[in-house]
Structure 1
């Protein structure tokens, strides 16, 4: 699903107008979408609508009218002189026959029952300056009261393109946006203030994709390369891909086993754990379907990968920070195969990032969390959002960068970034990133391009966590992957049946 810049949403609105759709029609559709979302989530209760001077305020006025017609007690506070309203917002106001209050002074209970729900229709995504003065007082008062807020488009005080405005803003329980989401709905720390985000169609006509380019895409359920070639009479384990995972020493081998188990569960046909002599016995005691091979140092990496005919490898999970890991990584890069670099494989280069960056190639995937990212790439330019940071890093490295977090960003040179929020907060647990690295490696070994493998793996990893729920540990995640893949297969079959019915008019 495309993620649009704020300016480009205005382009889509203009296309609608040029196509003969009046702004008032779009406003009615937006207000109806907000009212419907509210009615499906809350029983009737006193509502306070904060209406700004522009079209966002008009959307709120439409929602207010529709809720009142449905029997809800609704009050409107107008934050503008009537003569300053835009023509479409003025039409929406003329259709409102309920209580209308001025914005001064700040008193949530001034003219009716205490509000139990606030509709925020003050400012849309185009706000470019911090909120101050009376509006800031209202925002503070609502925050202190703790009343649930429903924001129209975005919470007022935030910027649609995820730029910090350094002023107060509302925090929504629900945000109803239209046509396509914006970065603010997906990127932290802003997305946390949006609450649940739903996006509704309001009638933008086709052809808008010829006029604008998305800033990013939101990762939806991936095909995962037809579930890793799950059918075919001639299918065998080697056709499904061969992955090597490099282990740390005897007291730090668990992370690599997590990555190896994940690669196997995600669809790789053969997975081998390459361990130093000190860790051979401890790994042997834990492994069954995962193979085990000795790899004592950097001078053995190339021969080991060649002997295993590995198509992808994972380096970094608990491998150790220091010169030994640097040498292993550089040897892995020399082998020229697809390589997932995580954790210690990245931190080992924090004192000399260019020694790593200068050797990376297009089949690499780096999977840093925020701390590892800053060690390699610094904090970047002021006001960068996470998407821009990841894209700049990918362009500098010439390979795919997966920047982990509540919103995981996948960026590659010359490609539009992907953002994954299909995940669970319970993934914030030791070892979950090792599992993700293994899933990516399985995709790479199956022949996926790094951008596709990383984005698909992020969704699959998140879906496994959502299925497990509260209390999951990283050890649980690999065993949840078969259910995820089977779910993807069911989606494919259902989509195929649907397409067949459409094609045959049934």
Structure 2
């Protein structure tokens, strides 16, 4: 279930289901059943429960959950934020709960210390304004207590669209949601506020997605796994693609070596580090199977030398920027590589990172125009600071997904907006949020390895958007593998080695045909 539905798309899924003949109150009952069953399984010995109910559908789910928990032997008290809309499903759920002798108290009287478990059904996923007043005070009470909290659909106060707290938000231990996750479940800090997420079936058929046509996904192998490079037994190193990694000066060769190693471990048949002459000795002392190509400092010959190398060695993908240092030289090389498409070379993809991004901070539109004209496939991999330097003036007021989408559209590139909730976006609006990985990735050089993995997959013929998604997921999964060995101490050098474990994990996973939108 890789599709992510915005709050508006989820409302459409509900409406399409109701239009197909399924009663809306039946959907609400199924939601309440899913929550109550999850709670009974999770907290079988926790019997004194508070259910905090809002006035909308989320509150209706809470009343049904409360009624079912009463039947299961729990001592339940509902606290209401106000009257539900007349003739609404929420009002009907409230009436049914009261008819079963359910207790309802004003929200202002809620005291967390009187309960063993708190169920949050105050606000749904469609929140568009900051939480204030008695609901904000109640959320503060919940967050201040040391009691387990189960949120229905999404912790109250978290935006279902952006994952951002709207003033204040509940911090849940468990979140039960329905049909498909929302962006707020996987974007930070929403993902952390959800705790463990349980996705439950309430009878909405997957066919509704054909009408909704979502273009936002959570990255998992069943999205891109069938597109991973699969070489024939008679394949050779040339068919497996050649990756070139541009290197900075002698004091900053490490980043290029990390990128090159990542490319090799990801299956590229040939990897070459292209470096200035003063860095060749250092590189030669560290690299064995990865080749080295000298590139002089003569600016008059720079274009000719690079284009000649690309043609002569049939380079399919290139990496430029990690640890490069000289931003003016980086800028010149970017222009040179962008020209290579018109020079009848085999190059198809250029991955820009670090200094190759920052080099254009004062002239981003010039870069975007050059990319559009080049005909090359570009992948741009900024972290927060780099992203804002290049795209910040164009994306103000947007959430992270929309920022990445706008950046991809403007730059005619696949944009990988890195972070704990990395977003990969394409110029046509498709976007993927990556949800695996852990804090071990927050180590110097981690992003350099990622650039090599991306370039490697592209050089092997993988579609560029799928290559970006797969590379980000596999890169993040290395941290999951390392954490099994140690909770700390991962270095960027470890990532390429951990790719061996990730490949083994992928072999164990089923990888159905990719989504048509990938």
TM-score (norm 2): 0.89
1:51 to 46, 50, 53: 53
Find out whether 1:460 has 2:461 as its counterpart.
no
When residues 89 and 238 of structure 1 are mapped into structure 2, their CA distance, relative to the original with a 3 A threshold, is: farther
When residues 415 and 440 of structure 1 are mapped into structure 2, their CA distance, relative to the original with a 3 A threshold, is: same
C-alpha deviation, 1:178, in angstroms: 0.9
2:339 to 334, 338, 344: 334
Find out whether 1:127 has 2:127 as its counterpart.
yes
Give the 3-state SS of the residue equivalent to 1:443 in structure 2.
helix
Give the 3-state SS of the residue equivalent to 2:181 in structure 1.
coil
Give the 3-state SS of the residue equivalent to 1:74 in structure 2.
strand
When residues 44 and 64 of structure 1 are mapped into structure 2, their CA distance, relative to the original with a 3 A threshold, is: farther
Partner residue in 1 for 2:103: 100
Partner residue in 2 for 1:343: 354
Q: For the Cα contact (< 8 Å) 1:366–1:402, is it kept in 2?
A: yes
| Cα distance in 1, alignment partners of residues 393 and 54 from structure 2 | 36
Paired residues in the alignment total 491
C-alpha deviation, 1:62, in angstroms: 2.3
Alignment of 1:66-105 (within 5 A): 66-81=68-83, 84=86, 86-91=88-93, 93-95=95-97, 97=100, 100-105=103-108
Partner residue in 1 for 2:177: 177
> Over residues 2-40 of structure 1, what are the superposed CA-to-partner deviations in whole Å (9 max), with x where a residue is unaligned?
111212211111222122211222112212222233334
2:324 to 306, 319, 327: 319
C-alpha deviation, 1:51, in angstroms: 1.2
When residues 139 and 424 of structure 1 are mapped into structure 2, their CA distance, relative to the original with a 3 A threshold, is: same
Give the 3-state SS of the residue equivalent to 1:217 in structure 2.
strand
Q: For the Cα contact (< 8 Å) 1:262–1:438, is it kept in 2?
A: yes
When residues 282 and 163 of structure 1 are mapped into structure 2, their CA distance, relative to the original with a 3 A threshold, is: closer
> Over residues 109-158 of structure 1, what are the superposed CA-to-partner deviations in whole Å (9 max), with x where a residue is unaligned?
5xxx7223211101211233322222121111112224332211112123
| Cα distance in 1, alignment partners of residues 510 and 238 from structure 2 | 24
C-alpha deviation, 1:428, in angstroms: 1.1
Q: For the Cα contact (< 8 Å) 1:243–1:270, is it kept in 2?
A: yes
* Residue segments in structure 1 that go unaligned for 5+ positions in a row: 497-506
When residues 42 and 48 of structure 1 are mapped into structure 2, their CA distance, relative to the original with a 3 A threshold, is: same
Find out whether 1:356 has 2:358 as its counterpart.
no
C-alpha deviation, 1:223, in angstroms: 4.5
Give the 3-state SS of the residue equivalent to 2:212 in structure 1.
coil
When residues 224 and 445 of structure 1 are mapped into structure 2, their CA distance, relative to the original with a 3 A threshold, is: farther
| Cα distance in 2, alignment partners of residues 177 and 63 from structure 1 | 13
Partner residue in 2 for 1:393: 407
RMSD: 2.3
When residues 279 and 116 of structure 1 are mapped into structure 2, their CA distance, relative to the original with a 3 A threshold, is: farther
2:308 to 303, 306, 327: 303
When residues 399 and 81 of structure 1 are mapped into structure 2, their CA distance, relative to the original with a 3 A threshold, is: closer
* Stretch of structure 1 that moved more, 119-128 or 139-148: 139-148
Give the 3-state SS of the residue equivalent to 1:358 in structure 2.
helix
> Over residues 158-199 of structure 1, what are the superposed CA-to-partner deviations in whole Å (9 max), with x where a residue is unaligned?
332228674322222222211111121122343332223332
C-alpha deviation, 1:74, in angstroms: 2.6
| Cα distance in 1, alignment partners of residues 226 and 330 from structure 2 | 32
> Over residues 312-359 of structure 1, what are the superposed CA-to-partner deviations in whole Å (9 max), with x where a residue is unaligned?
011111011421121122212222321100111111221222332221
C-alpha deviation, 1:453, in angstroms: 0.8
Partner residue in 2 for 1:143: 143
When residues 305 and 224 of structure 1 are mapped into structure 2, their CA distance, relative to the original with a 3 A threshold, is: farther
Q: For the Cα contact (< 8 Å) 2:227–2:466, is it kept in 1?
A: no
* Stretch of structure 1 that moved more, 160-169 or 382-391: 160-169
Alignment of 1:220-235 (within 5 A): 220-221=220-221, 223-224=224-225, 227-230=228-231, 232-235=232-235
| Cα distance in 2, alignment partners of residues 104 and 246 from structure 1 | 61
When residues 285 and 206 of structure 1 are mapped into structure 2, their CA distance, relative to the original with a 3 A threshold, is: closer
When residues 489 and 39 of structure 1 are mapped into structure 2, their CA distance, relative to the original with a 3 A threshold, is: same
C-alpha deviation, 1:108, in angstroms: 0.9
C-alpha deviation, 1:370, in angstroms: 1.0
1:490 to 508, 511, 514: 508
Q: For the Cα contact (< 8 Å) 2:159–2:166, is it kept in 1?
A: no
Q: For the Cα contact (< 8 Å) 2:338–2:376, is it kept in 1?
A: no
Q: For the Cα contact (< 8 Å) 1:79–1:102, is it kept in 2?
A: no
| Cα distance in 2, alignment partners of residues 119 and 89 from structure 1 | 18
